[in-house]
Amino acid sequence: ELSELDSKLAQYVDSHQEEYVEALRDWVAVESDSSNVLKRSELNRMMEMVAQKLRQMGGTVELVDVGEQELPDGSTLALPKVATAQFGSDPNKRTVCVYGHVDVQPAKLEDGWATEPYNLTDINGNLYGRGASDNKAPVLAWIHAVAAYQALSMELPVNVKFLIEGMEETGSNGLDAMILAQRDTFFSDVDYIIISDCGWLSRRPALTYGTRGNCYFYAEVEGPKQDLHSGVYGGAVIEPMIDLIGILDTLISPSGKILIPGIREAVAPLSDEEWKMYQDIQFDMDNYRNKVGVSQLMYNNKVDLLAHLWRYPTVSIHGIEGAFSDPGTKTVIPAKVTAKFSIRQVPNMDPAAVKKQVTDYLHSVFAKRKSPNKLKVTMVIGAKPWLADTQHALYEAGKAAVKRVFQMDPDLIREGGTIPVARTFQDVTGKSIIMMPIGGFDDGLHSQNEKISRYNYIEGTKLFIAYLNEVSQITIQV
């Protein structure tokens, strides 16, 4: 049952679809690739465009300087500024802060794109372009949601703040320090933080309530003082590569069981309610398997698979540096090799403890080999997981908004990946956070032919409008 207010706003959104698509076209045309320092001027231009759009709407806008980054060659480069904006400052209203980013993953036509990645292309209602779903359309949808209230001269039901950054894809450099610095200023009156930087799991709308963290390791084995010829020296020396592969093989079993002592014991147990939640989620195993392109997955039922994607840790081995990896044959014994592997973190695991468990375990396994080579283990990333309470008023409001716009209940899902800013917001500001995705399950984030469907973009804008309304009705817990 849509109120008159809702139908006016919904009609406004429908009649401005083309304008919204054009806005996305303008944004996607900017190659705001944060990993490529040669594109930094494009990224700065992108941040200017964001600030300009927010200014045109009459917001109080700032481009905040967050310092510089050091490049591998020792030189420094200014980080893109972070855009903040405020609409409304009524002390009698709730205040929400919307977080998003406008930097993108690299993309080139020759990577296997069917269309030019930076030229938004509409094919059968799908809007193809790098950054379309991650995260330009969701950021625009939030901006358009606020603008719709303004265009109809309707008062915003809540005060809305924006925090839009340009370094998310490379680790949000400078953002943690900025959030800390503005804890008692920009964030002081914020009640809730909304992140829309993820996607649905199926065709059913979703609310996201958890993400895994990530501990990333280097394991380096060093032996002879230089690379050796395997014909001349093979059989005389104990090879670092063989040591390294031997110890990597002890991290995880063929059936996916993590073998490092202490890790499985730290994982929060799966409750009956949680099992029931997973059971109710819409998820097509066959579709998922085909999309990945494998004949068999690690688990053959939905609950086990989702649980191992969302709430159990993983060990993944990403590669070995220093090994011979070019085409052709080369009879080399590498003198020093470094493995890169990571462990996704879940609730009740602590990165500091994981660092010790992994380091101690690999050293003990290595010692049993009685090798003269040297092992060095370092942890280079230690990002914690994030988990919200799905019974919280923010989520109740989210369920109500989804029901109003899509006439169905959302799936409550978790993300297997890591969105470190969520945990930073929680730890620094102490505010409650909700993740409210509008991206589709098949949007191809970080992949070739990334897209957002026109349906998700437009209906997502209506969802954000409805959500602002629902949040305004949360009663303040005294």
Rg (C-alpha) for the chain, rounded Å, is 24
Q: Facing residues of 332 across strands?
A: 229
- Among the residues of 335-392, which ranges form H helices? 351-368
d(CA 126, CA 289): 23
Closest by Cα among 402, 436, 440 to 193 = 436
**Phi, psi dihedral angles at 112 (to 5 degrees):** 115, 25
**Cβ-contact 27, 140 below 8 angstroms:** yes
DSSP codes of every residue in 131-187: TIIIIIHHHHHHHHHHHHHHHTTPPPSSEEEEEEES-GGGT-TTHHHHHHHTTTTTT
d(CA 194, CA 467): 10
In the structure encoding, which two tokens stand for residue 121, read together? Answer: 């292309």
Instruction: Considering the candidates 42, 103, 134, 165, report the single residue annotated as catalytic.
Output: 103
In the structure encoding, which two tokens stand for residue 219, read together? Answer: 């394991």
Write the Ramachandran bin of 140: left for phi over 0, alpha for psi from -120 to 50, otherwise beta.
alpha
Single-letter code of the amino acid located at 226: Q
In the structure encoding, which two tokens stand for residue 275, read together? Answer: 């099992």
d(CA 279, CA 302): 7
Report how far apart, in Å, the C-alpha atoms of 54 and of each of 59, 65, 157, 227, 248 are.
6, 17, 18, 57, 50
In the residue annotation, 411 being an active-site residue is answered as: no
Instruction: Considering the candidates 42, 134, 165, 168, report the single residue annotated as catalytic.
Output: 168
d(CA 294, CA 297): 7
DSSP codes of every residue in 78-119: EPPPEEEEEE---TTS-EEEEEEE--B----GGGT-SS-TTS
Q: Facing residues of 316 across strands?
A: 342
Closest by Cα among 477, 423, 465, 478 to 96 = 465
The residue with tokens 């109740």 is: 396
Burial string for 88-115 (b: 16+ CB within 10 Å, else e) reads beeeebbbbbbbbbbbbbebeeeeebeb
In the structure encoding, which two tokens stand for residue 118, read together? Answer: 């930076």
Write the Ramachandran bin of 472: left for phi over 0, alpha for psi from -120 to 50, otherwise beta.
alpha
d(CA 338, CA 322): 6
Write the Ramachandran bin of 87: left for phi over 0, alpha for psi from -120 to 50, otherwise beta.
beta
In the residue annotation, 103 being an active-site residue is answered as: yes
Just list the catalytic residues.
Answer: 103, 168
